[in-house]
Structure 1
Amino acid sequence: MNQISTFRVSSVMPAEVNIDAVKLQTALEQLPKLFPRLYCCLIARHGHIAAEQYYNGGEPERLNDLRSATKSVLSSLIGIAVHRGDMPPPDQPILPYLEEDMPVRSVTDEGWRRLTFRHLLTMTSGLHWQTGNRLGERWIHHFHNSSSWLRFALRLPVQPERHGQFQYRSIDSHLLSVLLTRCTGIRADEYAARHLFRPLGIPQYRWGLSPDGHAAGHIGLHLTGRDMLAFGQLILNEGQCLADSMNEGAPSSTAVIPLEWIRESLQPHVTGLPAFGHYGYQWWVHQVGSHDAACAIGHGGQLIYVIPSHALTVVFASNPRVCRWRHPKRWLEEWLLPSCR
């Protein structure tokens, strides 16, 4: 994959990264028509920003609500923690880290005893939940309105017939955040500040907390468009971040996320949903045209796209307070990719 030069430098002209400027401009002109609530769209190729557009009051300093795209950032934190020895490997059971808070019926539930970190990462826990084909979660508001998100989750039974099968379930992601804290002793947002945001040069962010004081694992992260792009580029570059340098010669490289974790995260571990693709470790994986792609998705049109074959990272941020929104996959296929030479 492609080395990033840095995301703290000026943009380049499209032609410098082998993008047809006329076709790109035509593609960008379609965005306000197709996505009327769009705040920003940023496109990077070969580690340089080729387009950066803002709409509807969006601006470079705006902290965008990533909604469920938060899940993909959390997955990276889990990978960092496993690599550092702060968390056990994915196939370890989760029960020992949660048992003190669990009701007796859950502790003695064989389904809970079989749950591993990998089940949560791939949303195959089997915890009792209902989700529609467009990712609408029937009980999500009850979950959010509860006084303790952790206790709410730990009271859910594991359905034997669903264990090991994919079901989009935000509770799985939130439990990962709780487990990260149980293993490391610090909240997920604080862990991110030390081990992910600092290497990327991200000083400004916001991450919401649950009523019982955990960083939300499934929603809650707010980043600027450029910082969303920096994270996507880090994934494209298989975890390698090139530090800014004023000295002559190539800047030094830092492994922020383990290469093995990124490759494992972007594998299609389970069949997902037709409208979104297969599922990796808190990432959606599918094809854009005939090209493999990975995508972090948040409600309302918060997306971080990584398309390795084209050395592309694409970010969208939109108004999340909508009932329905349009996925940009078709726009990528019909308008953006044809502009790449």
Structure 2
Amino acid sequence: MSFEWQLSTPEAEGMDAKLLEQIDDYVKQKRYRLINSVIIVKNGKLVYERYFNKCNENTRHSIKSVWKSILAIAVGICLDKGLINNLDEPIGNYLPAFAGHNHHYHKLITIRHLLTMSSGIYWNGGVHYHCPMMQQMMRTNDWLSHIADIDMHSVPGMNFQYKEWDVMLLSAVIGKAYGSTAYDLIYHEMYKPLDIASGIWPSSPCGFSYTVMKGEEQSDLSARDMAKVGFLFLGDGSINGNPIVSPAFVKQAITPSYPSYGFLWWLSPAGYGCRGFGGQEVNVIPEHQFVSVIQATPTPSSKSYPDIHDLFLSQAIK
């Protein structure tokens, strides 16, 4: 299986090309110097592609927390292959440190809780989410044992809290189930079939994949490859008739677990998408067979750019 985008024009796919032409001026007016790419896929075709700062279709950016949404796909693949029995399995079945020896709530944490950011493990992201707790963990040799020593904030499943512990543990569970790492699963079962180019995700000292810290640039994807992530879910887990993950899992992943959140996918009234620090976005509007991608250079003071999607990309749909 191989995949290449078909090309078209906004006009041919029923979009307002004149509105899209205003994006350049808007980016300059707002002084959005860190934005590097804006693309649109409509009706399965690449209809708009704009690059800034000497970037092009081959330029790759660190995806930051878009990784979380891709990790959710890995869980779906594990379910499809029977490597995970169900989402309500205790993670202690895969991670002995969470079998209940450190805290009696640990044995209540399930895979579903990790997918919905509701493990109940205490988390403090720090000022501007600079994650001092993560830095402390990274100074140890056994990250799983370190996380297992952190106090529980609430009963698992009771509260949503966006945090890194849950995806770290989820990656470890996926690796145990697959017999390798979460990256290996994604590479062989998703990236390779879809011709997605990415470096190897880093590994923790105890052997699970991760890619959320500053400077971890090996998780980079091009804007076109980012669009494939959204297009995969738009196609109920298949692209061009080739299945990657089951429609049943896709449906669960984009069903609200908490307001505006599914299985590591952000939800909106019009659709769903992925978000990464510093302005990495994938937006999907199923009703209009629409996928958009925004990429930017992340910096400690960088921001997100939802206004570009809200004022131009989605509004260009006629």
TM-score w.r.t. length of structure 2: 0.90
Q: 2-side partners of 1:195 and 1:174: how far apart?
A: 20
User: Which stretch of the first structure deviates more once superposed, 41-50 or 53-62?
Assistant: 53-62
Q: Deviations over 1:74-130 (max 9, x none)?
A: 00011011111011211111112111x46x9x5252210111000000000000112
**One-letter amino acid of the counterpart of residue 174, structure 2:** L
What is the 5 A alignment of 1:150-299?
150-160=144-154, 163-216=157-210, 218=212, 221-242=219-240, 253-271=241-259, 278-287=260-269, 292-299=270-277
* Aligned-residue offset at 1:324: 3.5
Distance 2:123 2:232 in 1: 33
Change over 3 Å in CA distance of 1:71–1:204 after alignment to 2: closer
Q: How many residues align?
A: 312
Gap runs ≥5 in structure 1: 1-5, 243-252, 272-277
Matches within 5 A, 1:68-107: 68-99=65-96, 101=97, 107=101
Structure 1 CA distance for aligned equivalents of residues 176 and 164 of structure 2: 19
User: What are structure 2's unaligned runs of at least 5 residues?
Assistant: none
C-alpha separation between the residues in 2 aligned to 1:108 and 1:208? 27
1:304 aligns to 2:282 (yes or no): yes
**Partner in structure 2 of residue 3 of structure 1:** none
> Which stretch shows the higher mean deviation, 260-269 or 215-224?
215-224
Residue by residue, what CA displacement relative to the aligned partner does 1:2-57 show, whole Å, maximum 9, x if unpaired?
A: xxxx8514521111111121111113532344432012111111111111111123
Contact 1:82 1:89 in 2 (8 A): yes
3-state secondary structure, aligned to 1:305: strand
Cα distance in 2, alignment partners of residues 215 and 8 from structure 1:
28
- What is the CA–CA distance in structure 2 between the aligned matches of 1:267 and 1:163, rounded to whole Å? 16
| Paired amino acid for 1:281 | F
> For the structure 1 residues 63 and 144, does the alpha-carbon distance in structure 2 shift closer, same or farther, using more than 3 Å as the test?
farther
Q: Is the partner of 2:22 in helix, strand or coil?
A: helix
1:202 Cα deviation (Å)? 1.8
What pairs up with 1:108-147 in 2 under 5 angstroms?
108-131=102-125, 137-147=131-141
Name the counterpart of 1:340: 317
* Alpha-carbon shift at residue 134 of structure 1 (Å): 6.7
CA distance in 2, matches of 1:74, 1:133: 26
CA shift, 1:196, in A, is 0.6
Q: With the length of structure 1 as denominator, give the TM-score of the two structures.
A: 0.84
Q: Secondary structure at the match of 2:4?
A: coil
CA–CA distance in structure 2, aligned partners of residues 317 and 206 of structure 1: 20
Deviations 1:227-272 (A, max 9, x none): 1111111111111111xxxxxxxxxx1111111111111111013x
Q: Specify the code of the residue in structure 2 equivalent to 1:154.
A: A
The amino acid that maps onto 2:250 is I
Superposed displacement of residue 138, structure 1 = 4.8
The SS at the match of 2:105 is helix
1:23 corresponds, among 16, 19, 24, to 19
Q: Offset of 1:218 from its aligned partner?
A: 4.6
Instruction: Give 3-state SS (helix, strand or coil) of 1:279's partner.
Output: coil
Distance (whole Å) between structure 2 residues aligned to residue 93 and residue 145 of structure 1: 27
How many angstroms apart in 1 are the aligned matches of 2:128 and 2:3?
33
Inter-partner Cα distance in structure 1 for 2:179 and 2:156? 32
Aligned CA distance change for structure 1 residues 259 and 163 (closer, same or farther; 3 Å): closer
Taking every aligned residue pair, what percent have the same amino acid on both sides?
Answer: 24
Q: 1:173–1:218: 8 Å Cα contact kept in structure 2?
A: no
